[in-house]
Amino acid sequence: MTDLPTTRIDLKGVLSASAPTVAKEDHSEGMSYLQSVPRRLVTLYLPLLIIVVVLLFPFYWMALTAVKPDAQLLDMETYNPFWTWEPTFKHFYKLLFESYYPRWLWNTMYVAVGATILSIIASVLAAYAIVRLRYKGANLVGGLIFLAYLVPPSILFIPLATVVFQYGLFDSPLALILTYPTILIPFSTWLLMGYFKTIPFELEECALIDGASRWQILIKIVLPLAIPGLISAFIFCFTLCWNEFIYALTFLQSTSNKTVPVAIVNEFVDGDVYRWGSLMAGALAGSLPLVILYAFFVEHYVSAMTGAVKE
pLDDT digits over 256-273, tens only? 899 999 998 888 887 777
Q: Is 28 helix (H, G, I), strand (E, B) or coil?
A: helix
Q: Is 197 helix (H, G, I), strand (E, B) or coil?
A: coil
Q: Is 274 helix (H, G, I), strand (E, B) or coil?
A: strand
The answer, yes or no, to whether residue 230 has pLDDT greater than 70, is yes
pLDDT at 41: 81
Name the helix (H) or strand (E) containing 269.
strand 269-270
User: 119: exposed, middle or buried (C-beta count within 10 Å: 0-12, 13-18, 19+)?
Assistant: buried
pLDDT at 262: 92
Q: Express each pLDDT in 197-220 by its tens digit.
A: 888 888 888 888 888 888 898 888
DSSP class of residue 257 equals G
More confident residue, 216 or 74: 216
Contact 121, 188 (CB under 8 A): no
pLDDT at 9: 43
Q: Express each pLDDT in 10-64 by its tens digit.
A: 444 444 444 444 444 444 455 555 567 777 887 788 888 999 999 889 889 999 9
Beta bridge partners of 273: 270
pLDDT at 297: 74
Domain boundaries, the chain: 1-30, 32-88, 91-310
Question: Which of 52-61, 139-148, 153-162 has the largest mean confidence?
Answer: 52-61
Instruction: Write the CATH number of the domain with boundaries 91-310.
Output: 1.10.3720.10
pLDDT at 301: 61
Q: Is 270 helix (H, G, I), strand (E, B) or coil?
A: strand
What is the mean predicted confidence (pLDDT) over 86-109? 90
Question: 69 to each of 22, 85, 160, 185, how far by Cα in Å?
Answer: 68, 10, 43, 44
pLDDT at 303: 60
Angle at 240 between CA 237 and CA 242, to 5 degrees: 105
Output phi, psi for 76, to 5 deg. -85, -15
pLDDT at 176: 93
Question: Residues for the chain: how many in total?
Answer: 311
